A and B are shown apart, each in its own frame.
Chain A
Amino acid sequence: MQVPPPIVRIRDVSKAYKRGTQILPVLQNITLDIAEGEFMTLMGPSGSGKSTLLNLIAGIDKADRGTITIGGTDITTLSETELAAWRSTSIGFIFQFYNLIPVLNALENVELPLLLTGLSRKERRQHAEMALQVVNLPDRMDHYPSELSGGQQQRVAIARAFVTDPLMLVADEPTGDLDRVSAKDILDLMCRLNAELGKTIIMVTHDPRAAERAHVIRNLDKGVLDNVSDQAPL
């Protein structure tokens, strides 16, 4: 059987931050492949560089060295404008604190990334409604973020992340601000998106229970990626 090419191909990526005159290495010679449809978790202590690696994969930060190829596109060669266009079609980002726009209701928040597509207003509405149905919030479409619980807000944020049908979803501590029950709901939802829609998911988490839901767990420590720890899909 032929092995499909990885959707994410990272080669010798390094990243350092400047603090005054000091240069602090955050990631060192990272090489990583992520297969299409994989659900991978990045774990590690605070400051280990996992969010930085996630940002590099999502195209919202730039590597100092190395190459990152996503779905055949070397994003390290893209300009800021090209990266923005690429992100709008290829990446769905899920934040720890949901980051919904407070003056837009759930439906409008989900519709937001579709403004960058060529869809008509009616089509945008249909896509957003469908996405909210997938995350089981069809009755909360007109609700503003302040009228939703944390778990519901995160579900809206997930709907916003996949409504454009991106290549993959990246999630930075998606359950970090939720209680246990809501966290479980969110992880169930992400697993469902992975299993049913085949979405590749890369998730950063501190929570071992959350990490257990992934197929693969990779650990980062002081900017260095450790050995592979494969898990059976749930």
Chain B
Amino acid sequence: MFLIKLLFRNAFRHKLRTTLTILGISIAILAFGLLRTVVSAWYSGVEASSASRLVTRNAISLVFLLPSSYREKIRQIEGVKTVSWGNWFGGIYINEKNFFPNFAVDPTTYLDLYPEYLLTPEERKAFIHDRKACVVGQLTAEKYGWKLGDTVTLKGTIFPGNWDFVVRGIYRGRDKGTDESQFFFNWEYLNESMKKTAPQRAEQIGFFILGVRNPGQAAEVAEAVDRSFKNSMTETLTETEKAFQMGFVSMTEAIVIAIQLVSFVVIIIIMAVAANTMAMSARERTGEYVVFKTLGFRSPHLAGLIFGESFVITLTGCALGILATFPAAKAFGDAMSTFFPVFYISRKTIYLDLLASMIVAVSAALIPALRVTHIRIAEGLRKVA
């Protein structure tokens, strides 16, 4: 207790210097936390992927479609439990700025494969039975003020025309990592319309989503699916949902790497600031440490005092930084919800903040502690005198 009191008094002996150092650490931790959260948001699709889901698409590119007849063939492949399908619709709500992902999907199988999208039984039933129904994520619904029963019109870019949908469900995510910005509607609605307006585009599917019986056999199932369509007019590429999502992330990998680098640079900078503070404090107190040694305190005691002081300063800054990260992330997430629909501070980010702070505390105290523990008492006393 006595020594802890001493640690705190030492840490706040130079109030201005300590306050500025703590402020610097807080800002660094805030920046680090935000940058790590941006990186996590970038990977949110990958993180939300299920090991029991596979995605089958055209082997040439996602832009090219697959015939709907593949559905039955895929369903017969051993290990496949459920087959769902969908198309990227690419509709615009009022203008292009109002972006949210929108898909035409098969309601029953899609909701079976994505239990993380939570709907009430009534909403689910309405979505399945109403051909013009759509289900929208809570985030998008709140953003545009949509309620159940509202009619929403999307302007098709890939599938021309104005498309009216009735909001029959507003889903919530089962966990924080679930994307609540998506918009789904019945694939049959799209297909029927295509049959009437552009028959050559009917019965075409953008992607199949496969639920596998045993996630451990996902690779074998994927291989079996692709083997089934080998040498056909439209070959497939089947991969795990994670790999599929990673494909999107890898397109912007350079940006992610840059953000990660910047987050570590921030920590290195604050390490230098904290080390400078600790070096100054230890140098100013050389005389006191010599007195401690004279009284019989040993090197581990003195190292403990210096490391302890470093931890007090750094962890105070870290705690304030973490506290500040929450409102900052909320504001950032709200402002950037179009780009980052899933934006929350994960537990991992908090642990990384703590780890970074501890690394800063240890590295800042290391050299001053070594210096103080190695100083000879007689030599130190001469300096004090």
* Chain A residues at the B interface, C-beta cutoff of 8 Å: 52, 55, 58, 60-61, 80-81, 84-89, 93, 95-97, 99, 101-104, 108, 111-113, 115-116, 121, 160, 172
Contacts and interface: CB of A to CB of B under 8 A. Distances in A.
Interface string B252-285: 0000000000000000000000000000000000
Given A101-B288, A113-B296, A116-B296, A60 B9 contact: no
18 contacts: A52-B378, A55-B378, A60-B294, A86-B296, A87-B296, A89-B296, A93-B294, A96-B385, A97-B385, A99-B291, A99-B384, A101-B291, A104-B9, A111-B2, A112-B292, A113-B296, A116-B296, A116-B297
Which of B10, B295, B377 has the most C-beta atoms of chain A within 10 angstroms of its own C-beta?
B295
A60 B378 contact: yes
B295 A87 contact: yes
B3 interface: yes
Nearest to A93: B294
A177 to B, nearest CB: 10
Contacts, number: 67
Contacts of B292: 112
A101 B384 CA distance: 13
Which of A61, A86, A89, A121 has the most C-beta atoms of chain B within 10 angstroms of its own C-beta?
A61
Q: How large is the interface on B (under 10, 10 to 19, 20 to 34, 35 or more residues)?
A: 20 to 34
B3 A99 contact: no
A93 B378 contact: no
Contacts of B3: 115
A84 B384 contact: no
A108 B9 CA distance: 12
Interface of B: 1-3, 6, 9-10, 13, 287-288, 291-298, 376-378, 381, 384-385
Contact of A97 (B9, B296, B384): B384
B298 A84 contact: yes
Given A88-B295, A99-B287, A115 B2 contact: yes
Contacts of B291: 95, 99, 101
A116 B288 CA distance: 17
Nearest to B290: A99
Q: A-B pairs with the 7 shortest C-beta distances?
A: A88-B296, A103-B9, A61-B378, A60-B377, A87-B296, A99-B291, A84-B298
Given A84-B298, A87-B294, A93-B295, A103 B2 contact: no
Contacts of B9: 103-104
Contacts of B376: 61
A125 to B, nearest CB: 10
Contacts of A108: 2
B10 A103 contact: yes
Which of A87, A96, A99, A104 has the most C-beta atoms of chain B within 10 angstroms of its own C-beta?
A99
Given A96-B385, A99-B287, A99-B291, A84 B296 contact: yes
B6 A104 contact: yes
Contact of A61 (B2, B6, B298, B377): B377
A148 B291 CA distance: 19
A102 B14 CA distance: 12
Contacts of B288: 99, 101-102
Contacts of A113: 295-296
Contacts of B298: 80-81, 84-85
Nearest to A85: B296
Contacts of A84: 293, 296-298
Given A60-B293, A99-B384, 12 more contacts: A55-B377, A61-B376, A84-B296, A85-B298, A87-B295, A93-B295, A95-B381, A97-B384, A99-B288, A99-B291, A113-B296, A115-B3
